[in-house]
Copies of this chain bind each other. A is one copy, B any other.
Amino acid sequence: VPKDRFGVMACSVARTANIVADPWTLLVLRDLFLGLTRFDQFTRDLGIATNVLTDRLATLVDAGLVVREPYQDNPVRHDYHLTAAGKDLYGVVVSLMAWGDRHLAPEGAPLRLHHTTCDHPTTPVVTCSHCGDELDADDVAPLPGPSGRATPGTRVIAELLADRPPT
């Protein structure tokens, strides 16, 4: 299986999934959002094997989501920080959390979020950029985009969209 099998599909779900659709990767991102920065913090928090963590951090650095920076000389030590592109994944991570809170947390949520801007408890809601209402699959119609085409990953979808007006 080619490593970029998903990355070359004409689909933004596939391309994003190619980088982040892995439980360890998402948990490292979660920890970065929660303020952890160091290799040994990730290993202690997650119980992740060091070779696996090294691999996932390399994936995140290669994808431009995380930067590795020296924070100490003699000996040199490095820590990890989200880039702007990495921070832009916040909505994905908290949307996964919100779904888990609704469906997989019968004892109540493990963690709550407080929106400091409005000073209220918050639950992430995925909304329409135009009207602000929550997006429901039944109320959204897919249309072909400028780079839409048939590739592995979109062969039937491309046919379905072919007779709709381009955007």
Contact = CB atoms under 8 A, between A and B. Distances in A.
Contacts of A153: 27, 45-47
A104 B15 contact: yes
A89 interface: yes
A30 B153 CA distance: 10
A143 B116 CA distance: 12
Given A90-B126, A90-B137, A127-B127, A105 B21 contact: no
A45 B157 contact: yes
Copy total for this chain: 2
Chain A interface bracket (under 10, 10 to 19, 20 to 34, 35 or more): 35 or more
B143 A113 contact: yes
A157 B31 contact: yes
Interface string A76-88: 0000001001011
A128 to B, nearest CB: 4
B112 A142 contact: yes
A160 to B, nearest CB: 7
A103 to B, nearest CB: 5
A70 interface: no
Interface of A: 6-7, 10-18, 20-23, 25-27, 30-31, 33-36, 41, 44-47, 82, 85, 87-105, 107-118, 120-149, 152-157, 160-161, 167
8 contacts: A11-B97, A16-B99, A21-B23, A36-B157, A45-B153, A110-B154, A115-B135, A125-B129
